[in-house]
């Protein structure tokens, strides 16, 4: 990977903050966008902006082709069929869709739902709500000091097992194949939140064996407001729509309506056409570089960062870069994470601070909040060095 060449594709990386070029280390929240993605969106609005599926004129035909071509690219990217790819606005909507369309019908007061204490709120609250409404039993897997799941085998027999593929706090990569096998062998379904994994490593949903896989586009170079729910065809066909109106309808009479075929049954109204096209362009960009190459780069960068930071801060999660994705949550002794982030921002170093939408995990770790530096394909060792120097500056300020 030629990182310097890659960086030239991202115009925002030339941005100055307080007179200093930014070191953008908040990729776990959202990634930056390459020119190729920006240009694809501009072309759509400049050349063939029109609604999809409904029109027979030239612009509508071109818009529809581009929209469905994006679906094909995403399907190939995760080894799924196109009818199994549902465009949504983000992973939160994808998980809520499964909760409502599958969970409300199939979960009863005798059901078990298993999640972990390490889930993002988007994969925590929906199942909490479902369990409350259906009087079902909600069970939580614990994690050890490195963020590894504890007692996964005890989840066997659960009607739903919904777990994160990679923690957005600890970075820990869970064994998704094992999770899905435990669910399958116990007669339940598996749901994997892949928002923090799909930008960083190859994903094959067939090999993984999951029933549902949710992810968002904006963490993988695509625009905000576009995400994907992958679902096995046989499950999606049995599920009721989540939203009603527009393209999800094939026929409407006074006596009743008929739903469209997959995947359109779950795509009500005018979709985020530009978002899908941007996501397709992002997939093209990632494929050109190669997900294996991106993963290698991040492991190298993580190893370097972990080595530099371990004597400066308290690091949460595994110290082996191969066991985590490209982020490091940490705390500086005696300094609130918001103060750390504020001082780093003075030097153009952009990180995240707070509980990262994973409050139960922070409670489990005995933390109010943490700072988080998250890396991606365009980050460099020089930026890691700037982060380390910035943390030393924080210590001097609070000495």
Q: Locate the domains of the chain by residue range.
A: 3-27+290-397, 38-287
Each residue's pLDDT tens digit, 30-69? 999 999 999 999 999 999 999 999 889 999 999 999 999 9
Over residues 302-315, the mean pLDDT reads: 97
Share of the chain above pLDDT 90, in %: 97
- Asked, colleague to colleague, whether 3-27+290-397 and 38-287 share their fold, the answer is no
pLDDT at 155 (0 to 100): 97
Reported as a pLDDT band with limits 50, 70 and 90, residue 116 is: very high
DSSP labels, 51-109: -SSS--SHHHHHHHHHHHHHHHHHHHHHT--GGGEEEESSHHHHHHHHIIIIIHHH--T
The CATH number given to 38-287 is 3.40.640.10
pLDDT at 308 (0 to 100): 97
pLDDT at 75 (0 to 100): 98
Q: Is the peptide bond before 142 cis (omega within 30 degrees of 0)?
A: no
Active site residues per annotation: 357
Global pTM reads 0.97
Could you tell me whether strands 20-21 and 16-17 are parallel, antiparallel, or unpaired per DSSP bridges?
Answer: antiparallel
CA distance 334 to 398: 8
Residue 312: pLDDT over 90 = yes
Each residue's pLDDT tens digit, 66-110? 999 999 999 999 999 999 999 999 999 999 999 999 999 999 999
DSSP SS3 for 266: helix
What region does 274 belong to: left with phi over 0, alpha with psi -120 to 50, or beta? alpha
- Chain mean pLDDT for the chain: 97
Of how many residues is the chain composed? Answer: 399
pLDDT at 210 (0 to 100): 98
| Least trusted range by pLDDT, from 5-9, 125-129, 243-247, 315-319 | 243-247
Over residues 268-274, the mean pLDDT reads: 96
pLDDT at 12 (0 to 100): 98
Query: Which element (helix H / strand E) includes 207?
Result: helix 205-208
| Least trusted range by pLDDT, from 134-143, 166-175, 245-254 | 245-254
Query: Which element (helix H / strand E) includes 143?
Result: strand 137-143
CA distance 81 to 271: 20
The half-sphere exposure of 176 on its side-chain side, counting CA atoms within 13 A, is 30
Over residues 379-386, the mean pLDDT reads: 98
pLDDT at 305 (0 to 100): 98
Over residues 7-16, the mean pLDDT reads: 97
CA distance 365 to 375: 23
pLDDT at 151 (0 to 100): 96
Residue 399: pLDDT over 90 = no
CA distance 192 to 206: 13
CATH topology of domain 3-27+290-397: 3.90.1150
pLDDT at 1 (0 to 100): 86
pLDDT at 145 (0 to 100): 84
Listed in sequence order, the residues at least 6 apart from 4 whose beta carbon sits closer than 8 Å to its beta carbon are none
Over residues 112-128, the mean pLDDT reads: 98
pLDDT at 54 (0 to 100): 80
């Amino acid at each position: 990977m030629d990182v310097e060449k890659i960086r030239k594709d991202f115009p925002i990386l030339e941005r100055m903050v307080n007179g200093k070029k930014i070191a953008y280390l908040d990729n776990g929240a959202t990634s930056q966008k390459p020119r190729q993605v920006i240009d694809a969106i501009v072309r759509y609005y400049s050349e063939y902006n029109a609604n999809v599926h409904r029109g027979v004129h030239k612009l509508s035909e071109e818009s529809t082709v581009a929209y469905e071509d994006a679906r094909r690219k995403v399907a190939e990217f995760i080894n799924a069929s196109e009818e199994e790819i549902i465009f949504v606005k983000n992973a939160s909507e994808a998980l809520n869709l499964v909760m409502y369309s599958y969970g409300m019908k199939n979960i009863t007061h005798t059901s078990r739902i298993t999640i972990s204490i390490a889930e993002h709120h988007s994969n925590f609250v929906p199942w909490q709500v479902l369990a409350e409404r259906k009087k079902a039993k909600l069970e939580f897997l614990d994690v050890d000091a490195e963020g590894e799941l504890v007692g996964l085998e005890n989840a066997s027999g659960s009607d739903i097992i919904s777990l994160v593929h990679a923690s957005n706090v600890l970075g820990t990569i869970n064994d998704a194949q094992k999770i899905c096998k435990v669910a399958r062998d116990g007669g339940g379904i598996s749901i994997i939140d892949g928002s923090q994994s799909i930008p960083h490593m190859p994903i094959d949903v067939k090999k993984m064996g999951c029933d549902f896989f949710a992810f968002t586009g904006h963490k993988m170079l695509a625009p905000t407001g576009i995400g994907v729910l992958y679902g096995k065809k046989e499950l999606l066909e049995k599920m009721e729509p989540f939203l009603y109106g527009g393209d999800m309808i094939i026929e409407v009479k006074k006596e009743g309506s008929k739903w469209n075929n997959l995947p359109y049954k779950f795509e009500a109204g005018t979709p985020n056409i530009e978002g899908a096209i941007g996501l397709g362009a992002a997939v093209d960009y990632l494929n050109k570089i190669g997900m294996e190459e991106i993963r290698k780069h991040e492991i190298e960068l993580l190893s370097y960062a972990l080595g530099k930071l371990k004597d400066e801060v308290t690091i949460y999660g595994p110290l082996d870069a191969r066991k985590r994705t490209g982020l490091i949550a940490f705390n500086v002794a005696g300094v609130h994470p918001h103060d750390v982030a504020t001082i780093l921002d003075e030097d153009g170093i952009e990180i995240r601070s707070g509980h990262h939408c994973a409050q139960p995990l922070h409670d489990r770790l005995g933390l109010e909040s943490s700072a988080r530096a998250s890396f991606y394909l365009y980050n460099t060792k020089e930026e890691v060095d700037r982060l380390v120097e910035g943390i030393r500056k924080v210590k001097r300020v609070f000495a």
